[in-house]
Amino acid sequence: MQTKPLGKQGLTASALGLGCMGMSEFYGATDETTSINTIHRAIDLGITFFDTADAYGPHKNEVLVGKAIKSHRNKITLATKFGIVRDPANAQLRGLNGKPEYVFASCEASLKRLGTDVIDLYYLHRKDPATPIEETVGAMAQLVQQGKIKGIGLSEVSSATLRKAHAVHPITALQTEYSLWSREPEDDIINTSEELGIAFVAYSPLGRGFLTGEIKTVNDFAPDDYRRLSPRFQGENFQKNLDLVNKIQQLAAAKNCTASQLALAWVMATYPHVFPIPGTKRIKYLEENIGALDIHFTAAEMAAINAIAPKNIASGLRYPEAMMGSINQ
């Protein structure tokens, strides 16, 4: 497994990471034993970069990840997030909090749940519109000084916010959705991160599983699956996006790989500072995803992929409209 620098603050990570969110919530039934076995298999295969957040579960995912990596902690680049506040009485209700006192309290709670003395990469999950980014990052910088975190990350922020934050304290990584059907970062933020020496962590690089080609109908989702509420999986959008996936599958067949492997290999081929973190809770798909590391494209093949999946090709918003206001802020 290739490893490379994660930002410029001394962290390194495997070229392919593992997103752990779905092991606890959002994508149907979960099983702790299966999930832990998947994390252990990922470690065996050389993956060192694991991503979680206090909002996943909520809290359950950090506990699970902490349990899974306990005996492997020195091999792991561990990332978690704070800033999305979920109502204890109704987890579907959520707010945003980037106030310094909340930063400190959230970090202490995450350290305890993860069972670790230090978090390698600590992200602000979403920018709090009521708190200047300089204040939030200033508090995170204090955590670096205290040795509680090693690197500061931001998720789903604009280039302007990233520059303001980076002026307060060097930012290690920016996390944003990026895939063949979510190429919006190419408009600005991915180039800004490269300019500033900030790693770009691509979440949902398989389009929330849609780019795998495994999903053919909404009925393939469990009744409580988040994707049933996502605009890209609704009505006419579903069929239009499925038509795109069918074309990707044809390219993958010509390349003698799966659609998942082609989509991941494309993400890794776009910019050298990009780290995709596909999520899965099953060893079968983990091993398939790792196969993407062996796939390389000619210029003609990249052109063919880009022609099929240009920017703005996906039909529908990537989040429900009520959630779109919290991204790219």
Does position 91 have pLDDT exceeding 90, yes or no?
no
Averaged pLDDT for residues 29-54: 96
Is there a contact between 159 and 126 (Cβ–Cβ < 8 Å)?
A: no
Domains of the chain: 3-209+260-295 (3.20.20.100)
Cα–Cα–Cα angle for 314, 317, 320, rounded to 5 degrees: 150
SS3 content of the chain, % helix, strand, coil (to 5): 45, 20, 35
Euclidean distance between CA atoms 47 and 39, whole angstroms:
9
Is 271 annotated as catalytic?
no
Provide mean pLDDT across the span 5-21.
Answer: 97
d(CA 220, CA 191): 36
- Whole-model pTM: value is 0.94
Which residues neighbour 68 within 8 Å (Cβ) at sequence distance 6 or greater? Answer: 35, 36, 39, 40
Euclidean distance between CA atoms 77 and 14, whole angstroms: 9
pLDDT-derived band of residue 223, with 50, 70 and 90 as boundaries? Answer: confident
User: Has residue 251 got a pLDDT over 80?
Assistant: yes
**Residue 148 to residue 309: CA distance in whole angstroms:** 41
pLDDT in tens, 208-221: 989 998 889 888 88
Q: Is 159:176 a contact under the CB 8 Å cutoff?
A: no
Calpha distance 171→322 (Å, rounded): 28
Asked if residue 7 lies in contact with residue 201, where contact means CB atoms within 8 angstroms, the answer is no
pLDDT tens, 292-315?
999 999 999 999 999 999 999 998
pLDDT > 70: what percent of the chain? 98
Which H or E run includes 164? helix 159-168
The Cα diameter of the chain in Å comes to 54
Query: Is the bond preceding 170 in cis, omega lying within 30 degrees of 0?
Result: no
Choice among 27, 56, 123, 178 that is catalytic: 56
At 303 the three-state DSSP class reads helix
Q: Which of 130-134, 177-181, 209-213, 220-224 is the least confident region?
A: 220-224
